[in-house]
Amino acid sequence: MKATVERTPLPTGREAADVLVVGASAAGLSTVEALRRQGYAGRVTVLGAETHPPYDRPPLSKQVLAGLWDPGRAQLRSREALSALEAEFILGEPAVGLDPATRTVRTASGHTLSADAVVVATGTRPRAFPGQAGLAGVHVLRTLDDALALRDALLDSARLVVVGDGVLGAEIAATARTMGLDVTVAGPQHAPMASQLGPRVADLLAELHTGRGVRLRLGAGVRRLVGSAGAVTGVGLDSGEVLSADLVVVAIGADPVTGWLQDSGLRVDNGLVCDSRCRAGEGVYAVGDVARWHHDQLGALLRLENRTNAGEQAMVVAANILGGDRAYTPVPYFWTDQFDTKIQVHGFIPTGADTGADAETDTDADANADAGMTVVDGDPATGRFVARYRHAGRVTGVLGWNMPKQTRLRRQGVADALADGPARATALR
């Protein structure tokens, strides 16, 4: 595998002759597909650390983990569709270094690859809990191999403790409970996903989980993992309580995979830092979970970890590689499926928001425990509703609970607020 390393700076507005995508992820694949759709006929190389062709991550904590899907169903494209892209996929070969001046990437096996444009799509990796490496029965979930290993362990266990009360922890808990395990979730928040959903909806999510038999030990941090003979036997909380476990999943967040960029001279700070065009340097772009870019409408740096962002950002990156000048200004979005409930959030749910003036605010203040929250469609009592959030009199976000169509329609209010630009950044972040 030989590559030319002599490269001159790529002039702004000039189309790249060769493109190297580092990361065979959904974001990386979406970039390749967007390049081809936009007419790019040049050489494309995709370098992936995993041996698997690109696959979808959201099903890993749900359909794949539950055994409802064969692992192959998580693949994003068939072999024929990948072949039609006429891109070279080099899999099982992690990147270990980047020289942005020559746009040359070094790989773990000592090879070098260079191109006129490099797209960083290396995603994130799970955070570890101190001491977990030396204990059998402790798992994380990020890759397809992680999901398959965890599924095998779940089938051979009775008691699971999930360390982490965010999106992934809650999804794993829901899936494991449907598989019949005794499941306990431990974490510092008062309810699952409280920081993402706000207190009232997080309380509803807690009720959903406890109603299905999940035990919640929240509001106390996890102090340690307890083991015997090299295998995990429990989780110790700050309160002194020890939760017995046959199996533990650590889901305490993820960090961008940027270690290989530390000597590149590019700015790395909670991701690869980019301008509003998702450009980290001349001819170097970032896309997906690893990208922390300047959102012009918010007037701030933003990094999003979700499948929708990967696809939308890839279209902008591809356009800019091909000589465009497009800013990436999405309405932030995420969703989660737990048990029979779909939750969707467009924009931001503020903390400490004021009640604001809202013509549709309920007269019963107790019905809106979150400041600035208004139920605008449906009713939480029925298990189907849409809530709108305001801060300082401005719409910041909408949340839907089993009402996807109505939630999408309410998204426009968030988009209109974003269009007002950086003057509203404080309210929207």
Tell me, what's the pLDDT at 365?
A: 34
What is the average per-residue pLDDT within 193-197? 95
Sheet with 333-338, side-by-side order of all strands: 333-338, 341-347, 394-401, 384-391, 373-379
Does residue 208 surpass a pLDDT of 90? yes
Q: What is the CATH number of domain 340-428?
A: 3.30.390
pLDDT band for 363, please (50, 70, 90 cuts): very low
Beta bridge partners of 124: 256
Under 8 Å between Cβ of 89 and 203: no
Contact 112, 106 (CB under 8 A): yes
Residues of the chain with CATH 3.30.390: 340-428
Boundaries of CATH 3.50.50.60 in the chain? 18-125+255-321, 128-252
Encoding tokens for residue 365?
A: 């203040």
| pLDDT (0 to 100) of residue 382 | 96
- C-alpha 243/C-alpha 140 separation (Å) is 18
**What is the number of other CB atoms lying within 10 angstroms of the CB of residue 143?**
18
What CATH number was assigned to the domain covering residues 128-252?
3.50.50.60
How large is the greatest C-alpha to C-alpha distance in the chain, in angstroms? 70
SS3 annotation, 316-372:
HHHHHHCCCCCCCCCCCEEEEEECCEEEEEEECCCCCCCCCCCCCCCCCHHHCCCCC
Q: Given pLDDT bands bounded at 50, 70 and 90, which one contains residue 167?
A: very high
Asked if the model's pLDDT at residue 70 lies above 90, the reply is yes
User: What is d(CA 359, CA 267) in angstroms, rounded to the nearest whole number?
Assistant: 45
Q: pLDDT tens digit string along 1-50?
A: 333 223 333 344 445 679 999 999 999 999 999 999 999 999 999 999 99
Instruction: Provide the strand spans (E) within 277-316.
Output: 279-281, 284-286, 291-295, 300-302
Q: H or E element: which one contains 149?
A: helix 144-155
Q: Is 252 helix (H, G, I), strand (E, B) or coil?
A: coil
Let me know if 381 is exposed, middle or buried by CB neighbors in 10 A (0-12, 13-18, 19+). Answer: exposed
Taking domain 18-125+255-321, whether its CATH number is 3.50.50.60 is answered by yes
For 214-243, how does the pLDDT look when each residue is reduced to its tens digit (9 = 90+)?
A: 999 999 899 999 999 999 999 999 999 999
pLDDT digits (tens, 9 = 90+) for 132-150: 998 999 999 999 999 999 9
Q: Rounded to an integer, what distance in angstroms lies between the CA atom of residue 346 and that of residue 388?
A: 10
Phi, psi for residue 155 in degrees, rounded to 5: -70, -15
